Amino acid sequence: MTTSTHDILIVGAGMAGLTTAIGLAGAGFDVGVIDRMPIEAQHDEAFDGRASAIAFASCNLLKAIGLWSHLEAHAQPILEIRVSDGPSLMHLHFDQAAIGDGPLGNMIENRHLRLALAARLKEVEGITLYAPAAIVDTGTSGTRAYALLEDGRRIDAALMLAVDGRGSQTRARAGIEVTSWSYGQVGIVCAIGHAESHAGIAHERFLPAGPFAILPLTGNRSSLVWTEEARFADTVMALGPRAFQHEVQKRCGDFLGNVEILGGRWCFPLGLQYAHAYTGDRLALVGDAAHAIHPIAGQGLNLGLRDSAALIEVLSDARKAGSDIGAPDVLEAYARWRRADNASLIAVTDILNRLFSNDIAPIRLARDVGIAAVNQIDPLKRFFMEHARGTVGDLPKLLRGEAL
Ligand SMILES: Cc1cc2nc3c(=O)[nH]c(=O)nc-3n(C[C@H](O)[C@H](O)[C@H](O)COP(=O)(O)OP(=O)(O)OC[C@H]3O[C@@H](n4cnc5c(N)ncnc54)[C@H](O)[C@@H]3O)c2cc1C
């Protein structure tokens, strides 16, 4: 049996996994990354219609680890967010000019994020990729965490990170339980081209089935996340191109002029899940493996990037202090740092979705009163904007744009 040895072994080369790997390598760690998929399969230039709102603070992390030069040309700044409640005239308006310190975030197509990660991987030293590779077991032996691969290889490290997504097998093998529930909703995702400019404004419309988000991409294009009741998912996905376009146009209204669907459409079941612990024996959970939330606030990946920034700082400090990076007190420092922030966003997205995904008259009235109140009270508006930018709480240095 051949054994390869690293400081840190990351399971999962998704957006959170590779960002963490690049950040850790930049901090001087020797990192191994395993994924069951070939890396090239994830780095396809074809547009798959998916895009992410990357908060201002998360962009600081991407800048700090050298990804931004690969992304800048593809990033659409979010200058305003407008939230409206169905046909009600009440709406919330968040304008970055009120904060005056750069955009609320950037919309970036997932393919560009992945291509930037692939390009940066070629530039940094200290990362070994094992992909595609099938893991048959993970565990610990003495002061090492290990993964056994189907081809007989053994990879070990002082610390393993489970960044293998919502269905993390690494988490399950460590015996860490999760709480999860389904919202009975799906997120239908596609991109549109339109006649008029979006002017950098993100729109979130609360319709009875759930939020309908129109998110600005570069050029006259936008990304849509159409939340629909799960029981109608097959019907919507089976609509012919003209009928689908008609439904999209109806929901968008006419402020963007005529819209056309660009490329395909995708359907994701929506649910909430959180792990009962963020750490185990020489193990830390990062990203969707630790928490997967409703996309209502576009914060799922942002939470993963915040995990990543906190963990890189904790591990870098531990090494500078001469500590064992897999020691329980080091891992507990990471878990303590991330638990409260993640828990509050899990709760907020859950409550918002329940509050806004219905058409019950008294609830509609209450939320319209709430919207009107937030709109009138500047400190409250500022509070929500700081949350959208990811600039609240005890931020890790990389999210503040500072070196480690
Ligand atoms: C409709 C929708 C819209 C969204 N919009 C936004 C948004 O605007 N902003 C935002 O911040 N977030 C958004 N999100 C959330 C975001 O997409 C996720 O939080 C993010 O992609 C999770 O990344 P991850 O790297 O943690 O996990 P994943 O993307 O799931 O990556 C996991 C990786 O692990 C690998 N893997 C899995 N199992 C194994 C195994 N056994 N062995 C080896 N490798 C394995 C996989 O191949 C994959 O590469 C949205 C989500 C949805 C559904």
| 261, 185 Cβ separation under 8 angstroms | no
Q: How far is the CA of 336 from the centre of ligand 1 (A)?
A: 23
Gap between the Cα atoms of 76 and 74, Å rounded = 7
Report whether residue 12 contacts ligand 1, using a CB cutoff of 6 Å. yes
CATH number of 3-180+272-400: 3.50.50.60
Q: Write down the pLDDT at residue 365.
A: 76
Distance 73 CA to ligand 1 centre (A): 23
8 A C-beta contact, residue 323 and residue 330: yes
Q: What is the pLDDT of residue 353?
A: 81
Contact between 114 and 42 under an 8 Å Cβ cutoff? The reply is: yes
Question: Residue 375: is its pLDDT beyond 80?
Answer: no
Contact present, 16 and 308 (Cβ < 8 Å)? yes
> What is the C-alpha separation between 50 and 247, in angstroms, rounded?
19
- Per DSSP, helices labelled H in 357-391 are 361-376, 378-389
The pLDDT tens digits of the residues spanning 330-352 come to 999 999 999 999 998 899 888 88
Taking the C-alpha atoms of residue 356 and residue 304, their distance in angstroms, rounded to an integer, is: 25
Q: Is a pLDDT exceeding 70 seen at residue 88?
A: no
**How far is the centre of ligand 1, averaged over its atoms, from the C-alpha of 365 (Å)?**
36
Residue 89: per-residue pLDDT = 62
